[in-house]
Amino acid sequence: MIYNIAIAGATGAVGKELIRLLALRDFPVRQLTLLGTERSAGRQITTRFGDIQVQAFSEERLEGQDYVFFATNGDHSKQYAPIAVSKGAVVIDNSSAFRLDDDVPLVVPEVNPEALKGHQGIIANPNCSTIQMVAALNPIHQYSPIKRIVVSTYQAVSGAGEAAIAELNEQTRKILDDQPFEVKNFTKQIAFNVIPHIDVFLDNGYTKEEMKMVGETLKILSDPNIKISANCVRVPVIRAHSEAINIETEDYVGEQKARELLDDCKEIRVIDQRENAGYPTPIDASESMYTYVGRIREDISCDNGLALWVVADQLWKGAALNAIQIAEHLIKAK
């Protein structure tokens, strides 16, 4: 079968990658509809499915769609995703609008595909930093349940959109040319700097981004007893997030067994040599469909502890690719 596909937010960073990946993965597309704001309407986008004109988003353009990918903000998804479902579409939403809704599955296909059974038309795509973490930790968690996770993220500026990329590039040029520059999209200078602050602060001192990782991980792994602490940091990297993760498991796993478990996963690539360049970096993961793991070692600060380094392209595996993999799984399960 072939399907009618619509992308809401088609001209944004994730929307553009959805278009690319539908082609790269030979998704069975009958017709591709690209939806955007009034400002982007009329723009012509060249795709492998032909030259397609972006249309202004409207309820009427949700008619006749089999799958609608929402790459818009949460308020937009909240308003229009149920309408798309009422018109017969399956919605895969990239915003945070439905992620912790009890009636909406939150899915990483290689981790919890069973959550898709009985969905009610809307499926939530997890946060980018959550996706790569649970993808790497799930093989270990299935072998011996994880009791505690401490994670520090090093998140690329493209996670904040195209304007953030432009700001990093502009600040870098101006600093090197000894010219004044502005801070627009971040709380501080991002070029040659790191910012330990993503999203708004909450009453407990954590940021919303950090608490997303906590709540979403517990839901995806279906284990409310895991203790999780996250520290999310923006770094001057254009693409691909990195994470330093320490875990404690119920039983002893050990680095060799952990390496074997990760090696057995087709969606994971282990790069773990204890030598110069024997580990993955954001450049290695950029525009790759895999989650990369390295620096696997026993955590010497606790019993049954492991430490690892995880890198993935947050625009692909952390957003567009995972969304498409959800749709692929639904099609395969028919």
Catalytic residue flag (residue 197): no
Catalytic residue flag (residue 128): yes
Which is catalytic among the residues 119, 128, 141, 232?
128
- Measure Cα distances from 254 to 37, 165, 309 in Å: 51, 39, 15
Which CATH number fits the domain 130-314, given the four candidates 3.30.565.10, 3.30.360.10, 2.60.40.420, 3.30.2130.30?
3.30.360.10
Per-residue pLDDT of the chain (334 residues; tens, 9 = 90+): 999 999 999 999 999 999 999 999 999 999 999 999 999 999 999 999 999 999 999 999 999 999 999 999 999 999 999 999 999 999 999 999 999 999 999 999 999 999 999 999 999 999 999 999 999 999 999 999 999 999 999 999 999 998 999 999 999 999 999 999 999 999 999 999 999 999 999 999 999 999 999 999 999 999 999 999 999 999 999 999 999 999 999 999 999 999 999 999 999 999 999 999 999 999 999 999 999 999 999 999 999 999 999 999 999 999 999 999 999 999 999 8
Token pair, residue 203, equals 């009453």
State the sign of the Cα–Cα–Cα–Cα dihedral 248, 252, 255, 256. Answer: negative
Which is catalytic among the residues 76, 119, 141, 241?
241
**Domains 3-126+319-333 and 130-314 are alike in CATH topology:** no
Instruction: Give the residue extent of every domain in the chain.
Output: 3-126+319-333, 130-314
Q: What is the distance, to the nearest Å, from the Cα of residue 193 to the centroid of all Cα atoms in its chain?
A: 23
Token pair, residue 292, equals 């990369």
CATH topology of domain 3-126+319-333: Rossmann fold (3.40.50)
